[in-house]
């Protein structure tokens, strides 16, 4: 039932979940991930089909090194865009920030639909394939997810990650403590864009075709569901949410059209039934013995109960 | 030349009127609860499909009940009113499932954004299961509009009656809403709750009832817009309301969150701006609303007519 193709989709879902999680870890609800995903994917689709120096062969093959280059370039372009729009946008908070990022997603979607070189509604197709079957994509996506996960894990132990958590809990207090809140939020936003851009570049090759629909408002909603279900207090939450909720519609395919209704129900009921998501720091604590437990505490820290959530 | 301009302006004002309806729906809920009901676009779709069914339309082959429909169609005006009431009831349902549970738990208000999105996704997909994904066209001509001619000639310009009707009905709805909010007991009570729910409650206003009223009226406004757009253009599929919902959001921010005159002015401004986009660039028209939204958020986050809100610490 779960084949390699579905596994790749699940891993991409987990990566995009991480991309939504990163700004949320600073308390900022950004729905911009699909815009960055679309930018990365479009770049990869354009480069691999138009730029012969990357080495696409006549029978649709593609060198692995070029794919890796595209992953980097997709991440850089998306990160650059985030840097550009992030500074003004991140002055906004709450609903305003959410609406501004929806606007960004729509502007990017309409631009990709209408630019003369992105193929209009049909998009770009016959994107060359670096692998002969899905298992190659599986390894690449797994590597990408491991890299992004390692980054999030490292963040928790670094001053940057602690600053992010401080801003999430109380932005004003964090500012008073001398944290440059704008800068930290901007870094989280750019990191989120880099993850989304690289994922888009990989997805473009995996899907073989790329069009404006890949980065629409619907996708924002879907990704939000990943984080809501999985939980936004640890990076493992969105990863789990992305894996499960990407697989769920496929596994429910026999049920037919009802699967989208069930999907909506998750978003509707999740915040009420599992307000913190499935994976919480308290749960990880209880599982015990995990390496990340230690990174949250310093020896000098007083005995605090991590399961106590600031409301 | 003048005729073309007149037509363009009327088209712009007509769609602007519908944007204003959607934005007013957001405004009502926002002023009472301080949150945005993201299911508004789904309620818009429901209004369009209800109007279609009430006017005697039959469900297509991909629907759950192919060929089913009312034995006799209602006249347009009655169908539109009933459809608006139906969307209002759907709005009440959204309040009950997406907003009330979070309010009872005093949860983070931003979560309502997520639950209402979920409610919208559920509603739109239920609509899709019932009606199928295909488009529906309303009956055209004199019958559809209750005996009115299909087009009028004003100052030498030929204008579709439905466009004029669109403008008149949304203007009437906006006027009625404003009068109701300003003059009636119910409207004053609603504004009191919007100002300060606790104090209003102490003064004997049943604030929960006012919240439900806001959701009903807000849903009815969206349903009205959906019905009008359906008759004027067509129903391209259950998702068509989502686009209008997002545009309404842009109008809301343009006018200023929570401001009634702002929502009206913003709607008209947005409609006219879109109508003035030259036809060679029509593909970019959908981005205009969001480009304006983006610019407003960055330059004047309180909107054109909004109050500046200072965060209390």
> Nearest residue of A to residue B283 by CA position?
A114
pLDDT at B224: 94
Q: What is the pLDDT confidence band of residue B311, given thresholds at 50, 70 and 90?
A: low
pLDDT at A306 over 70: no
Q: Is residue B308 part of a domain?
A: no
C-alpha angle A92-A217-B260 in degrees, rounded to nearest 5 = 55
Return the pLDDT at B306: 67
The domain containing residue A33 runs over which residues? Answer: 4-215
- A139 has pLDDT over 80: yes
Tell me the per-residue pLDDT of B36-53, one tens digit each, with 9 for 90 and over. 899 999 999 999 999 999
Among the listed residues B312, B309, B287, B313, the one whose alpha carbon sits nearest the alpha carbon of residue B300: B309
* Residue B13 host element (H or E): helix B2-33
Domain membership of residue B151 as a residue range? 2-299
B59 domain-assigned: yes
Q: From the candidates B30, B96, B294, which should be mutated to test the interface with A, based on the most A CB atoms within 10 A?
A: B294
Alpha-helical regions (H) of chain A: 4-24, 33-50, 64-89, 94-114, 134-157, 159-169, 171-176, 181-207, 217-230, 236-251, 258-273, 281-287, 291-295
- Is the residue at B150 inside a domain? yes
Mean pLDDT confidence for B116-130: 91
Q: Count H helices, E strands: chain B?
A: 12, 2
Interface of A with B (CB under 8 A): 29, 88-89, 92, 94-96, 98-100, 102-104, 106-107, 110-111, 113-114, 172, 217, 221, 224-225, 228, 257-258, 260-261, 263-272, 275
Residue A299: pLDDT band by 50, 70, 90 thresholds?
very low
Residues of chain A contacting residue B128, judged by C-beta atoms under 8 Å apart: 257, 260
The Cα B81–Cα A298 span in angstroms is 64
Distance (Å, whole) CA A265 – CA A174: 36
pLDDT at A297 over 50: no
Between chains, do A271 and B250 touch, taking CB under 8 Å as contact?
A: no
Residue A309 has pLDDT above 60, yes or no: no
Contact A196, A36 (CB under 8 A): yes
- B54: domain CATH number is 1.10.3470
Check CB contact under 8 Å for B97 and A106. Answer: no
Counting residues of chain B whose pLDDT is more than 90, the rounded percentage is 26
- pLDDT per residue as tens digits for the range B210-226: 889 999 999 999 999 99
CB contact under 8 A, A264 and B120: yes
Which pLDDT value is given to residue A189? Answer: 94
> Do the domain assignments include residue B304?
no
**Contacting residues of B for A233, CB less than 8 Å apart:** none
Q: Could you give the CA distance from residue B309 to residue A50 in angstroms, rounded to a whole number?
A: 50
Contact B207, B201 (CB under 8 A): yes
Confidence of residue A308 (pLDDT cuts 50, 70, 90): very low
Whether B80 and B227 have beta carbons less than 8 Å apart is answered as yes
* Beta-carbon separation of B246 and A217 below 8 A: yes
Higher pLDDT, A193 or A289: A193
% of chain A with per-residue pLDDT over 70: 89
Check pLDDT > 90 for residue A73. yes
The tens digit of pLDDT for each residue in B253-286 reads 888 887 888 888 999 999 999 888 887 788 888 8
- Tell me the nearest-neighbour CA distance from B309 into chain A, angstroms: 12
**In the predicted model, what is the mean pLDDT of residues A193-218?**
91
Residues B124-179 have pLDDT tens digits of 999 988 888 888 888 765 566 666 677 777 766 677 778 888 888 888 888 888 88
Q: Measured between CB atoms, which of A99, A267, A275 is closest to B107?
A: A275
Question: Is it the case that residue A239 has pLDDT exceeding 80?
Answer: yes
pLDDT at res. A293? 44
Cross-chain CB nearest to B122 (options A92, A268, A275): A268
Digit-coded pLDDT (tens) for A219-238? 888 888 888 888 888 889 89
Q: Compute the distance between CA of residue A220 and CA of residue A227 in angstroms, rounded to an integer.
A: 11
Does B290 sit within 8 Å of A261, measured CB to CB? no
Q: Which of B42, B103, B121, B302 is the mutation pick for testing A, counting most A CBs within 10 A?
A: B121
Domain count, chain B: 1
Task: Using the predicted structure, report yes or no on whether residue B17 has a pLDDT greater than 70.
Answer: yes
Distance CA B3, CA B9 (A): 10
* C-beta separation of A261 from B125 below 8 A: yes
Above pLDDT 90, what percent of chain A?
32
Report CB contact under 8 Å: B287, A102. Answer: no
Q: Is residue A28 over pLDDT 90?
A: no
A173 vs B73, higher pLDDT = A173
Q: Does the pLDDT value for residue A10 go beyond 80?
A: yes
The β-bridge partners of A129 are A61
pLDDT value of position B260? 85
Q: Which residue has the higher pLDDT, B89 or A4?
A: B89
Are B287 and A110 inside 8 Å of each other by CB?
A: yes
**For residue A310, pLDDT beyond 50:** no
Pick the residue with more confidence: A141 or B194?
A141
pLDDT exceeds cutoff 70 at A290:
no
The model's pTM: 0.85
Residue B12 lies in a domain: yes
pLDDT value for B146: 63
Which of A119-133, A144-158, B257-271 shows the lowest mean pLDDT across its residues? Answer: A119-133
From the list A110, A221, A228, which residue is nearest B121 (CB)? A221
């Amino acid at each position: 039932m779960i084949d390699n193709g579905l596994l790749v989709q699940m891993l991409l879902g987990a990566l995009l979940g991480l991309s939504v999680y990163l700004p949320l870890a600073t308390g900022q609800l950004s729905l911009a991930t699909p815009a960055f995903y679309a930018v990365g994917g479009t770049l990869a689709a354009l480069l691999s089909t138009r730029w012969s120096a990357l080495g696409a062969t006549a029978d649709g093959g593609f060198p692995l090194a070029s794919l890796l280059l595209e992953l980097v370039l997709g991440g850089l372009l998306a990160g650059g865009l985030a840097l550009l729009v992030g500074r003004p946008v991140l002055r906004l908070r709450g609903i305003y920030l959410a609406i501004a990022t929806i606007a960004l997603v729509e502007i990017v979607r309409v631009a990709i639909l209408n630019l003369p070189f992105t193929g209009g509604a049909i998009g770009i197709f016959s994107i060359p394939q670096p692998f002969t079957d899905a298992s190659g994509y599986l390894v690449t996506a797994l590597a990408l997810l491991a890299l992004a996960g390692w980054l999030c894990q490292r963040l928790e132990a670094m001053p940057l990650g602690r600053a992010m958590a401080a801003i999430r809990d109380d932005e004003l207090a964090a500012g008073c403590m001398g944290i440059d809140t704008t800068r930290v939020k901007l870094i989280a936003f750019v990191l989120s864009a880099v993850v989304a851009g690289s994922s888009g570049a990989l997805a473009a090759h995996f899907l073989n075709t790329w069009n404006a629909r890949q980065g629409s408002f619907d996708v924002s909603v879907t990704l939000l569901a990943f984080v809501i279900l999985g939980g936004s207090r640890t990076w493992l939450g969105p990863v789990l949410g992305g894996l499960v909720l990407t697989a769920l519609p496929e596994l429910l395919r026999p049920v037919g059209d009802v699967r989208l209704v069930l999907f909506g129900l998750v978003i509707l009921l999740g915040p009420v039934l599992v307000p913190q998501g499935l994976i919480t720091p308290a749960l990880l604590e209880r599982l015990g013995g995990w390496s990340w437990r230690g990174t949250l505490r310093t020896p000098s820290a007083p005995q605090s109960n991590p399961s106590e959530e600031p409301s | 030349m003048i005729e073309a301009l007149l037509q363009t302006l009327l088209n712009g004002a007509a769609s602007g009127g519908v944007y204003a309806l959607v934005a007013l729906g957001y405004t009502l809920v926002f002023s009472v609860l301080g949150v945005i009901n993201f299911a508004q676009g789904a309620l818009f779709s429901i209004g369009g499909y209800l109007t279609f069914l009430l006017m005697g339309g039959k469900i297509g082959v991909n629907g759950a009940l192919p060929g089913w429909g009312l034995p006799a169609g209602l006249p347009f005006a009655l169908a539109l009113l009933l459809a608006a009431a139906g969307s209002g009831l759907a709005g009440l349902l959204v309040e009950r499932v997406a907003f009330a549970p979070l309010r009872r738990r005093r949860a983070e208000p931003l979560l309502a954004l997520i639950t209402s999105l979920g409610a919208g996704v559920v509603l739109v997909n239920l609509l899709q299961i019932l009606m199928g994904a295909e488009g529906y066209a309303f009956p055209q001509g004199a019958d559809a509009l209750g005996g009115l001619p299909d087009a009028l000639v004003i100052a030498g310009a030929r204008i579709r009656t439905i466009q004029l009707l669109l403008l008149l009905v949304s203007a009437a709805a906006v006027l009625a809403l404003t009068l109701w909010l300003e003059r009636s007991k119910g409207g004053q009570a609603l504004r009191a709750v919007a100002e300060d729910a606790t104090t209003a409650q102490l003064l004997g206003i049943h604030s929960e009832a006012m919240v439900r009223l806001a959701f009903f009226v807000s849903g009815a406004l969206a349903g009205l817009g959906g019905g009008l757009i359906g008759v004027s253009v067509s129903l391209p599929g259950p998702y068509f309301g989502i686009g209008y919902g997002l545009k309404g959001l842009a109008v809301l921010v343009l006018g200023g969150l929570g401001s009634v005159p702002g929502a009206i002015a913003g709607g008209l401004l947005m409609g006219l701006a879109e109508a003035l986009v030259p036809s060679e660039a029509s593909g970019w028209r959908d981005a205009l609303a969001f480009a304006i939204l983006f610019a407003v958020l960055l330059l004047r986050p309180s909107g054109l007519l909004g109050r500046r809100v200072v965060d209390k610490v």
